[in-house]
Amino acid sequence: MTGKGLPDPFHVAVIMDGNGRWAKKRFLPRLLGHRAGIKALERTVAAAADMGITHLSVYAFSTENWTRPQKEVTGLMSIFRHSLRKKIEELRRENVRLRFAGAREGLPPDVLELMNESEELTAGNTGLTLVPCLNYGGRREILDAVNSLLRGKPKGSVTERELRDHLYISDLPDPDLIIRTSGEKRLSNFWIWQSAYSELYFTDTLWPDFGRKELEEALSNYKDRERRYGTIGNN
């Protein structure tokens, strides 16, 4: 079965890469690149909502990011705190729902409290669902799901449905489109289970320069693609 042109994506995922390089090009500290990345996220959230995208997930902080210099990690956590405090009421008014994906263990208690408050405050919103992936790693997610399953089902085989039900957000639709900025062409442990059939789009644009125009270009590229269903090697 062959379909010409893909339908509008329900779930767009973004690997927000290039903050450090953006800052370096301008002879600025890396943390200023991360702050510029928050502005890019605000633009992208607004654009996604206008375009009718139902779910937008963003790779905000990976499990591997803990290995960065302590000063940078501390600065990133400070940016998360500030952004949540500043934007949560605005997101609530704009009918955006916040849901976080990732391991909660290891995050600062006050950041966890802000995350929980944000999810509760926006739980009734019916517009765009924004999913920041914080302290997230795809392999860690699968391991956590398997271990959770084993605790409740010590014997017998495991089905795909059962494993899916133990992922961080089990009812989140798989990404239709995954965008990575800054020219890198890999998933970097992002949505490992969920990305099995996702379309991939790579752009040289550094994340702080990303916005409505770049999102429109990614969606246009996605919609022009032809997807073939069936066995590998079909023409």
Query: Catalytic site residue 17?
Result: yes
Q: Residues near 167 by Cβ (< 8 Å), separated by ≥ 6?
A: 141, 142, 145, 193, 194
Exactly one of 8, 65, 125, 189 is catalytic; name it: 65
Q: Answer yes or no: are the C-beta atoms of 71 and 104 closer than 8 Å.
A: no
Instruction: Measure CA 80 to chain center.
Output: 15
| Three-state SS at 144 | helix
Residue 129 C-alpha from the chain's centroid:
11
Indicate the Cα dihedral angle 110, 115, 118, 124, nearest 10°.
Answer: -150
Q: What residues act catalytically?
A: 17, 65
